[in-house]
């Protein structure tokens, strides 16, 4: 018998961090899935224990300030796309306001560290959400376009094709076949 | 990140294609270490002994003697130590059947070998950028399909 499971990435990460931090008796505040504030003086032993506990799950603690900022930019882009798709705020204003840096600075740090740009990342992420809806829901392209605040279905299809090299329908067809094709592990 | 070069491997039986590819990748701003293999078996022998030193990205030609690209791809995806590697197919074939077949067997990116050098450079650069996103962003790896 084969089962398919669906993940809510946000809930998964938050629950996971909470459980592990509680287990180690660390007092903390979760700011986002990528950022937390430790509200006590962390002993080196506890810090090591935490790093080890997280490492097993492929989670690492970022120390480099610039890469940390890149992660915060990404996570702000994600939340803008997911939760504020319909707001009239521009991405550049949203980032500057939430991260307290000028957009020019954010954009420079991002490009310097990622070989890419914030705009490119945002497009890739938005297309990734389209993929998620295409695979996991029965929404039509029109409905997906509305949900992700594309101005039209044509705009969505165009951006999808330009970014992935595939049309949404080709992608959907391949993914359906791929699921049937993959051997159960 | 920017200070660590990306480890990249290419398996291709054509001498000229290997040479052009390594010239193109040298000209790109992204720091890379490139290893070249003449056919699929050479690549698989390397991967199977690489231990934790696995490449960040594999470019695979489809038509190669001894072991072709599709066979390599299937072996990579059925090996627990290798199955999460990012694989880009690098082929002259633009047949829809080939493209679909490689995606179904787990390819992440399909690149048509471009017919001129500047297009080749552009294509390789695009793949490297995507590959960076593959490794560092929370994008869904199961639906990570791109055709360039």
Query: Which tens digits make up the pLDDT trace of A23-69?
Result: 888 888 887 777 778 888 878 888 888 888 888 887 877 766 667 88
Q: pTM of this prediction?
A: 0.77
Q: How many angstroms separate the CA atoms of A153 and A163, rounded? A: 15
Using CB atoms within 10 Å of the CB of residue B53, give its burial: 0 to 12 exposed, 13 to 18 middle, 19+ buried: exposed
Q: For residue B60, list its beta bridge partners.
A: B11, B89
> Where do you find CATH 1.10.10.60 in chain A?
120-181
As a whole number of angstroms, the distance between CA A170 and CA B144 comes to 14
Find tokens 């639906």 and name the residue.
Answer: B143
Residue in A113, A132, A165 closest to B146 by CB: A165
Q: How far apart are CA B68 and CA A66, in angstroms?
A: 42
Contacts of B99 (CB under 8 A, 6+ apart): B93, B110, B147
- Three-state SS at A42: coil
Query: What tens-digit pLDDT sequence spans chain B (148 residues)?
Result: 445 788 999 999 999 999 999 999 999 888 899 999 999 999 999 999 988 789 999 999 999 999 999 999 999 999 999 998 999 999 998 888 989 999 999 999 999 999 899 999 999 998 998 888 887 777 888 888 888 8
Most confident of A85-94, A176-185, B68-77: B68-77
Domain A120-181 top-level CATH class = mainly alpha
User: Distance (Å, rounded) from C-alpha B102 to C-alpha A50?
Assistant: 41
- With CA atoms as reference, the chain A residue closest to B30 would be A115
- Per the CB < 8 A criterion, the answer to whether A96 and A103 are in contact is yes
pLDDT at A15 > cutoff 60 = yes
* Partner-chain residue, chosen from B100, B138, B147, that has the shortest CB–CB distance to A9: B138
Beta carbons of B105 and B12 less than 8 angstroms apart: no
Rounded to two decimals, the ipTM of the complex is 0.82
Mean pLDDT score of chain A? 86
Asked if A152 contacts A144 with a C-beta cutoff of 8 angstroms, the reply is: no
Minimum distance, in Å, between the CA of residue A140 and any CA atom of chain B: 18
Q: Which residue of A has its CA nearest to B29?
A: A115
Identify all chain B residues contacting A171, using CB atoms and an 8 Å cutoff.
143, 145
B6-147 CATH pick, 3.40.1350.10, 3.40.50.2300, 3.20.20.80, 3.40.30.10: 3.40.50.2300
CA distance B10 to chain A (A): 21
DSSP B60: E
> Do residue A114 and residue B136 have CB atoms under 8 angstroms apart?
yes
Mutate to test the interface with B, among A137, A164, A172, A177 (most CBs of B within 10 A): A164
pLDDT of residue A2: 80
Least confident of A111-115, A148-152, A165-169, B42-46: A111-115
State the pLDDT confidence band at A154, using cuts at 50, 70 and 90: very high
- Taking an 8 Å cut-off on Cβ atoms, the answer to whether B147 and A174 are in contact is no
Nearest CA in chain A to B134: A124
> Least CB-CB distance to A164: which of B1, B129, B147?
B147
> How close does chain A come to B19, measured CA to CA in Å?
24
Nearest Cα neighbor of B21 from B109, B117, B148, B111 is B117
The structure tokens 């490449």 sit at: B55
Q: In this predicted structure, what is the pLDDT of residue A140?
A: 93
Q: Is pLDDT of A171 > 70?
A: yes
Minimal-distance CA residue of chain B relative to A171 = B145
CB atoms within 10 A of CB A177: 13
Alpha carbon of B51 to those of A60, A131, B81: distances in Å? 21, 33, 9
Q: Cα–Cα distance between A53 and A39 in angstroms, integer?
A: 19
């Amino acid at each position: 018998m084969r089962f398919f499971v669906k993940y809510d990435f946000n809930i998964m990460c938050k629950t996971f961090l909470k459980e592990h931090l509680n287990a180690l008796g660390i007092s903390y505040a979760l700011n986002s899935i990528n950022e937390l504030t430790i509200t006590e003086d962390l002993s080196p032993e506890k810090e090591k224990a935490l790093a080890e506990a997280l490492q097993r799950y492929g989670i690492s603690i970022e120390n480099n300030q610039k890469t940390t900022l890149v992660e915060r930019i990404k996570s702000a882009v994600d939340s803008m796309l997911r939760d504020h798709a319909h707001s009239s705020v521009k991405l550049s204003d949203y980032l500057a306001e939430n991260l307290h840096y000028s957009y020019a600075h954010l954009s420079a740090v991002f490009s310097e560290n990622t070989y890419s740009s914030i705009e490119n990342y945002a497009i890739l992420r938005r297309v990734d959400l389209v993929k998620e809806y295409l695979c996991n829901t029965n929404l039509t392209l029109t409905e997906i376009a509305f949900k992700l605040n594309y101005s039209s279905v044509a705009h969505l299809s165009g951006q999808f094709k330009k970014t992935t090299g595939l049309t949404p329908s080709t992608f959907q067809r391949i993914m359906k076949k791929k699921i049937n094709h993959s051997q159960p592990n | 990140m920017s200070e660590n070069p990306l480890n990249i491997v290419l398996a291709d039986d054509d001498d000229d294609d290997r040479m052009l590819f390594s010239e193109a990748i040298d000209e790109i701003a992204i720091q890379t270490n490139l290893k070249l293999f003449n056919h699929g078996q050479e690549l698989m022998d390397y991967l199977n002994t690489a231990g934790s030193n696995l490449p960040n990205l594999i470019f695979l030609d489809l038509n190669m003697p001894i072991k072709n690209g599709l066979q390599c791809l299937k072996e990579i995806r059925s090996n627990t130590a290798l199955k999460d590697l990012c694989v880009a197919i690098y082929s002259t074939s633009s047949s829809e059947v080939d493209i679909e077949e490689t995606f179904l067997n787990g390819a992440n990116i399909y690149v048509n070998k471009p017919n001129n050098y500047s297009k080749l450079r552009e294509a390789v650069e695009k793949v490297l950028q995507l590959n960076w996103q593959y490794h560092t962003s929370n994008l869904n790896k199961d639906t990570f399909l791109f055709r360039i």
